[in-house]
Amino acid sequence: MKPIMIRPGVYWAGVNDRESELFEGLWTIQDCGVSLNSYLIMDEKKVLIDLSSELLTEPYVNMIKSIAPLNEIDYVVLNHLEPDHTGALLYLREANPNITYLGTKKAAEIIGNFYEIKDHFRIVEDGEELKIGKFTLKFAAVPFVHWPETMVTYLVEEKILFPCDAFGGYGALPGVVFDDQCPDLPKFEAETLRYYANIVAAYSGNTRKAIEKLAGIPIEIVAPSHGLIWRKNPERIIELYRQWVDYAEKKREKAVTVVYGTMYGNTAEFAESVQQAVADTGLTVEMFNVRKADIGVILGSVWKNQGVIVCAPTYEGSLFPEMVSFLHMMKVKKVVTRTTAYFGSFGWGSMAKKQFETFAAEQRWDVVENYQFHGKPKQADFDLLPDFAEKFAAAVRAAE
C-alpha cells in the first residue's frame, strides 16, 4: 500500500504482514494477517509514531521515504517496545543517527536491554506535552496495556489518539485504512475480539484504567498500531474494548464453548451429545477440538462466553495433555468465573476429575458437573445429559 493522509500533515505509513503464520510466535494469523501501523507527522519536526517489525523493514522504510527522507526524521515516538513496533529501529538509527527516541522511563530501561541503545533517548513524563511546530504531542502512560513501558500519544490539535496495541485488532488492511471504508466490518470486529483475547485480555484491569484515564479527552480519530483507523465511529472501538474488558469479570454472552480432546473417539462422541443437549436448551454452543483448533481461536470464544465445557480422556493417569495445556492458557489469560463442567472417558484409573476440580477452584469456575465414564459412553451416561443441560443452561443464564 501507499501512505494515506489521515489529516493534513498526518499520515498512516504502515505495512501488512501477510507472511507470518503466527503472531507473537503463538497465535494464528495465517488466514487474516495483521497490519503494523506506523504514523508520520510532518511538521517543523518530523515525527514517527511506532515502527514496524524487522521482517517488514524494507517495505516499511520505503513507505516512509516516499513521504520524507529518513535524514529529516527528528523524533520516533516509541509507545511500546515490543518488536512488532520496534523491529525497524536499528535500521532507522543507522540511516539517521540523529533521531531522538521518545518513551517512558521504563522504555528507556527496556530499549537498553533489547537494542543496546543508551543515547538519543528522551524520557517523556506522563501528561507531558511536546510542541513540534503547529502540532502538539501529549503523552500518557498506560502501564501494562501490554508491557510495563506502554504509553499512548495524543495529537492535541487534531484530537487523534495513537494508542499502539490498545484498540488494535488482527486483520491485514484491505487496501483501505478507515472504519467507514472497510468492506467487512463485522469480520474485522470479530478478528479484533480475537486479538483482544490473545494479546490484551490478561491486562484487562490495566486496560480498564487506561480507558478511564482517556475518558475526558476528546477523541476524533483512534489510530492504533494494528488494524483499522476509527474516524467515523471512534467511540465504537472504545465501546467494544470496554465490553471485552468487562468480560474479565462479568456480563459475558449467555453462550457456551465446548472444548474437547480425544484419542479414539469415545470422548468426542460424548462431547457431540453434550453440545446437542446444551443447544437444545436454546443456548449457542461453539465446539472445538483442542488438538486441531488454534488455541487463540478457542480463547476468543472462551473470553466472550459464560459457559465452558471441557471434555477430555485420561492419558497416562492424567488429563489429555493438550487439555492440560489449554487449561494452563486459561490461567495465563486470567479466564475466571466461568460456568463449567467436565466429561471424559477413562480406562482403569485416572486423576483427571481431581485435576479438573483443582483447576476450577483456582479459577473460580462454577462446576455444574464433573463426570467420567468407562471406555465407550453407554446409554446410562447419555441419559444424564438432558438434566445436566437444563441445570447448566440455568447456571449460565443466572451468572452475573
CA dist list (Å): 269 to 130, 210, 348, 380 = 62, 45, 19, 14
Candidates 43, 50, 82, 189; binder of Fe ion (CB under 5 A) is 82
Q: Is 149 in the site for Fe ion (CB under 5 A)?
A: no
Span of 11-19, 46-54, 147-155, 312-320 interacting with ligand FMN by CB under 6 A: 312-320
Nearer to Fe ion, 146 or 252 (CB): 146
Secondary structure (DSSP) of 315-351: ETTEE-HHHHHHHHHHHHTT--S-EEEEEEEESS---
Strands 253-260 and 27-28: unpaired
Q: Which does 218 bind (CB under 5 to 8 A by kind): Fe ion, ligand FMN, none?
A: none
Q: Which does 265 bind (CB under 5 to 8 A by kind): Fe ion, ligand FMN, none?
A: ligand FMN
Q: Is 146 in the site for Fe ion (CB under 5 A)?
A: yes
User: What's the DSSP call for residue 79?
Assistant: S
- Residue bearing cell 509514531: 49
To Fe ion, the closest distance from the beta carbon of 168 in angstroms equals 6
Please write down the long-range contacts of 61-68, taking CB distance under 8 Å and 24 or more positions apart: 61/88, 61/91, 61/92, 61/95, 63/1, 63/2, 63/3, 63/13, 63/14, 63/15, 63/38, 64/13, 64/38, 64/40, 66/2, 66/3, 67/3, 67/11, 67/13, 67/40, 67/42, 68/40, 68/42
Q: Is 314 in the site for ligand FMN (CB under 6 A)?
A: yes
Task: Please list every residue from 22 through 41 that binds ligand FMN, using CB under 6 A.
Answer: none
Nearer to ligand FMN, 97 or 347 (CB): 347
Task: Please list every residue from 317 through 376 that binds ligand FMN, using CB under 6 A.
Answer: 317, 345-350, 375
Span of 122-130, 204-212, 266-274, 390-398 interacting with ligand FMN by CB under 6 A: 266-274
To ligand FMN, the closest distance from the beta carbon of 337 in angstroms equals 28
Q: Which does 346 bind (CB under 5 to 8 A by kind): ligand FMN, Fe ion, none?
A: ligand FMN
Task: Name the residues that contact ligand FMN, by CB under 6 A.
Answer: 262-268, 313-317, 345-350, 375
